[in-house]
């Protein structure tokens, strides 16, 4: 047996140990985190829209009223070339302050706050606001945001309450039209 199986076993053991420590930390920690340059955070308390905001459906974000999707997550993936790992942090919430590339986000639901975090958009920043490619200067206090970052790229999806309401009304109309034109077999 050469050194390669030993090295693989050590790497697997280290990953398991880190994962176990992370799970234990999540299970026992209080609901307080501090965003680092590689973290991004946010919450959302509205029903799901077509962009995945609110309710946590369709890969969305937000606490959703009465539960729903997550307000904070971290995932670790092996780099494509196998040379290391990349941690991606996703956070969802309501924007409470914005100054340049610095965002302050309230994570939680309409009635409970999980955390309030400061996030700095770093690296290559991609931003969509109300479905349109925008710049950081377009963000406004009160926007519902989802920020995803791995330290070298940052993606921000933002919507306004009015935009989400319009999208929900459009979805409801499409569903009514679909139901009205559906041919149901006789019982």
Domain ranges of the chain: 1-30, 32-181
Nearest-angstrom CA–CA distance, 65 and 114: 13
Q: Decide: 108 and 43 in contact? Cβ < 8 Å.
A: yes
Nearest-angstrom CA–CA distance, 120 and 39: 8
pLDDT tens string for the chain (187 positions)? 455 555 555 556 555 555 554 444 443 333 333 333 333 333 333 334 333 444 333 333 443 333 456 799 899 999 999 999 999 999 899 999 999 999 999 998 888 999 999 999 999 999 999 999 999 999 999 999 999 999 899 999 999 999 999 999 999 999 998 888 876 666 6
pLDDT for res 6: 53
Nearest-angstrom CA–CA distance, 90 and 18: 19
- Name 89's Cβ contacts closer than 8 Å, sequence gap at least 6: 35, 38, 39, 40, 41, 72, 73, 74, 148, 149, 150
Nearest-angstrom CA–CA distance, 150 and 3: 32
Global confidence as pTM: 0.60
Nearest to 103 by CA among 126, 131, 129, 122: 122
pLDDT for res 182: 77
Q: What is the CA radius of gyration of the chain?
A: 20
Instruction: Report the Cα 101 to chain-centroid distance in Å.
Output: 18
CA atoms within 13 A on the CB side of 161: 5
Nearest-angstrom CA–CA distance, 22 and 63: 21
- Name 183's Cβ contacts closer than 8 Å, sequence gap at least 6: none
How many residues in total does the chain contain? 187
């Amino acid at each position: 047996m050469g050194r390669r199986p030993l090295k693989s076993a050590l790497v697997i053991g280290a990953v398991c140990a880190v994962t176990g420590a992370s799970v234990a930390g999540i299970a026992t920690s209080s609901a307080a985190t501090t965003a680092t340059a590689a973290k991004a955070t946010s919450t959302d308390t509205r029903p799901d829209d077509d962009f995945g905001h609110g309710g946590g459906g369709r890969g969305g974000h937000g606490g959703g009223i009465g539960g729903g999707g997550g307000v904070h997550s971290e995932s670790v993936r092996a780099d494509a070339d196998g040379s290391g790992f990349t941690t991606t942090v996703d956070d969802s919430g309501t924007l409470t302050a914005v100054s340049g590339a610095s965002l302050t986000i309230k994570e939680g639901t309409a009635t409970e706050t999980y955390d309030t975090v400061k996030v700095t958009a770093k690296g290559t920043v991609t931003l969509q606001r109300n479905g349109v490619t925008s710049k950081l200067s377009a963000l406004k206090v009160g926007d519902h945001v989802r920020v995803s970052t791995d330290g070298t790229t940052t993606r921000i999806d933002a919507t306004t309450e009015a935009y989400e309401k319009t999208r929900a009304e459009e979805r409801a109309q499409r569903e009514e039209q679909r139901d009205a034109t559906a041919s149901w077999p006789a019982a």
